[in-house]
């Protein structure tokens, strides 16, 4: 049940495009019934808004990528005992210049928030208050109480991912207030 079950329903609905049919509707209805998911009442597990740290999942690209970004961010927050927030990528966080947010990022974010609601975005106001705006293209990965963990190829060429993971591990024990995650987070090893 819950979030990932609903994600399967969304992916199935996208896969079965075309005119509505009773067979398609019955298939999606069976998944929805098995999920026992009610989008109006479902809420992510409660997080402690007053935690010392917050994990921010920065969403970019299409809905499929954003599902991984949310799931990985949520797992990191739960493991770190931190509050959680999700937000759309800002213009200055793009991996190339001139910076811009791709149209499918905007469409994916709209689909994500339409399906899962604003409650799934966590404590965005706390994220804005605690997190310094770090810009990966400027090689800013750690400063002002914020750690930026970036897994995209363009960014890991600037600061190797193993070094970022070392910084991340130490940030769990030090006075870092914000851990921002920017990447695809689809490697099997991250969930095993």
- Angle 53-100-122 from CA coordinates, rounded to 5°: 25
Q: How far apart are CA 78 and CA 63, in angstroms?
A: 22
57-96: pLDDT as tens digits: 999 999 999 999 999 898 888 777 889 999 999 887 766 6
Say whether pLDDT at 4 is over 50.
Answer: no
Q: How would DSSP label each residue in 86-113?
A: EEEPPGGG-SSSS----HHHHHHHHHHH
Beta-carbon contacts of 51 under 8 Å, excluding residues fewer than 6 positions away, are 81, 82, 83
Lookup result for tokens 């079950």 = 5
Q: Against a cut of 0.85, is the pTM above it?
A: no
Average pLDDT, the chain: 79
Q: What is the pLDDT of residue 166?
A: 80
Q: How far apart are CA 179 and CA 82, in angstroms?
A: 9
Q: Are 86 and 70 contacting, i.e. CB atoms less than 8 angstroms apart?
A: yes
């Amino acid at each position: 049940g819950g979030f990932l079950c609903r994600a399967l329903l969304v992916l199935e609905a996208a896969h079965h495009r075309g005119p509505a049919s009773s067979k398609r509707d019955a298939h999606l209805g069976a998944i929805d019934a098995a999920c026992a998911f009610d989008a109006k009442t479902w809420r992510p597990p409660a997080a402690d808004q007053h935690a010392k740290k917050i994990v921010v999942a920065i969403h970019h690209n299409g809905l499929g990528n954003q599902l991984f970004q949310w799931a990985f961010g949520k797992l990191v927050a739960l493991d770190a005992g931190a509050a959680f927030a999700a937000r759309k990528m800002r213009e200055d966080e793009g991996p190339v210049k001139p910076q811009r947010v791709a149209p499918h990022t905007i469409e994916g974010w709209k689909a994500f928030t339409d399906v899962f609601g604003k409650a799934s975005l966590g404590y965005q106001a706390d994220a804005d208050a605690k997190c310094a705006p770090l810009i990966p293209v400027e090689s800013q990965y750690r400063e002002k109480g914020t750690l930026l963990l970036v897994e995209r190829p363009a960014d890991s060429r600037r600061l190797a991912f193993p070094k970022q993971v070392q910084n991340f591990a130490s940030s769990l024990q030090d006075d870092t207030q914000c851990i921002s995650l920017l990447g695809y987070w689809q490697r099997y090893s991250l969930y095993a």
